[in-house]
Amino acid sequence: MLKKTTKLIPYLAIFLVGAACSKKTTPVEEALETQTLLVGIGGDPQSLDPHVAVGAPGKTVIWGLFEGLLTQHPQNLPPVPGVAESWDVSADGKTYTFFLRENARWSNGDPVTAHDFVFSYERILSKELGAPQAYSLFIIKNAQAYYDKALTDFTKVGVTALDEHTLEIELNNPTPYFLDLLIQSIFFPVHKATILKHGDPKNPNNPWTRPGHLVSNGPFMLKSRKTNDEIIATKNPLYWDAEHVRLNEIHFLPMSVEAEEHAFRAGQLHLTYWVPEAKAQKLLEQKSPELVSEPALIVYHYCLNTRKPPLDDKRVRKALSLAIDREKITKAIILSQGKPAYNFVPYEAGNFISSAPVKEDIEEAKRLLAEAGYPNGEGFPPIEILYNTAETHRKVAEAVQEMWHKNLNINALPENQEWKVLLARRNTRDFQVVRTSWIAHYVDPNALLELYLSDSPINESGWENAQYDALIKQAATERNLSKRRALMQEAEALLLDEAPVIPISFYNMTQLKHQSVRGWYPNLLCTHPYNDIYLQASK
Amino acid sequence: MNEADSISPWAQSWYRLKQHRMAMLGLILLSIIGLLCLIAPWLTSYTYREQNIDLGAIPPCAEHWLGTDTLGRDLFTRILYGGRISFMVGLIATAVSLLIGVPYGALSGYLGGRTDRFMMRVVEIIYSLPYTIFVILLMVVVGRGLLPLLLAIGAVEWLAMARLVRGQVLAVKEQEFVQAAHVLGQSNFKILSKHIIPNVLGTVIVCATLTVPSVMLLESFLSFLGLGIQAPMTSWGDLIKDGVVTLEEYPWMLIFPSIFFSVTLFSLNFLGDGLRDALDPRVEAAR
pLDDT tens figures, A150-203:
988 999 999 999 999 999 999 988 887 888 888 888 999 999 999 999 989 888
Q: Tell me whether residues A402 and B232 touch, CB distance under 8 A.
A: yes
Q: Tell me whether residues A398 and B56 touch, CB distance under 8 A.
A: no
Inter-residue contact A105 to A238 (CB < 8 Å): yes
**Torsion B122-B127-B133-B136 (CA) sign:** positive
Phi, psi torsion values for B165, nearest 5 degrees: -65, -40
pLDDT score, position A165: 93
Q: Tell me whether residues B70 and A278 touch, CB distance under 8 A.
A: yes
Give the C-alpha separation, A396 to A403, whole Å. Answer: 10
Contacts of B144 in chain A (CB under 8 A): 413, 415
Return the amino acid letter for B136: I
Q: Tell me whether residues B70 and A416 touch, CB distance under 8 A.
A: no
Reported as half-sphere exposure (CB side, CA atoms, 13 A), residue A293 has a value of: 23
* Sequence spans of domains, chain B: 11-286
Average pLDDT, chain A: 88
Q: pLDDT band for B174, please (50, 70, 90 cuts).
A: confident
Q: pLDDT band for A336, please (50, 70, 90 cuts).
A: low
Reported as half-sphere exposure (CB side, CA atoms, 13 A), residue A150 has a value of: 6
pLDDT score, position A234: 94
Q: Tell me whether residues B250 and A329 touch, CB distance under 8 A.
A: no
Q: Which fold has domain B11-286?
A: MetI-like fold (1.10.3720)
pLDDT tens figures, A433-461:
999 888 888 888 888 998 898 888 788 88
Angstrom distances, CA of residue A349 to CA of A68, A295, A299, A346, A444: 23, 11, 11, 6, 5
Q: Tell me whether residues A279 and B249 touch, CB distance under 8 A.
A: yes
- A333 touching chain B per CB within 8 A: yes
Contacts of A391 in chain B (CB under 8 A): 245-246
pLDDT score, position B255: 93
**Torsion A267-A271-A274-A278 (CA) sign:** positive
Q: pLDDT band for B285, please (50, 70, 90 cuts).
A: very low
What secondary structure does DSSP assign to B239-274, as a single string?
HHHHHHHTTTT-THHHHHHHHHHHHHHHHHHHHHHH
For an interface test with A, give the residue of B58, B70, B224, B250 to mutate (most A CBs within 10 A): B70
Contacts of B223 in chain A (CB under 8 A): none
Count of Cβ atoms closer than 10 Å to residue A448 Cβ? 26
Q: Tell me whether residues A399 and B226 touch, CB distance under 8 A.
A: no
Percent of chain B with pLDDT over 90: 24
Q: Tell me whether residues A329 and B53 touch, CB distance under 8 A.
A: yes
Give the C-alpha separation, B31 to B257, whole Å. Answer: 17
pLDDT tens figures, A9-68:
555 555 555 555 455 788 888 888 899 999 999 888 888 999 998 888 888 999 999 999
Instruction: Measure A328 CA to nearest chain B CA, in Å.
Output: 6
Contacts of B72 in chain A (CB under 8 A): 332
Q: pLDDT band for B286, please (50, 70, 90 cuts).
A: very low
Q: What's the pTM?
A: 0.79
Q: Give Cα A44 distance to the centre of its chain.
A: 14
Angstrom distances, CA of residue B62 to CA of B28, B58, B255: 27, 11, 18
Q: Give per-residue burial for B94-133: e unless 16+ CB within 10 Å, then b.
A: bbbbbebbbbbbbbbbbbeeeebeebbeebeeeeeeeeee
Of the candidates B232, B237, B270, B269, which has an alpha carbon nearest to the alpha carbon of residue B254? Answer: B237
> What is the chain B residue with the closest CA to A329?
B53
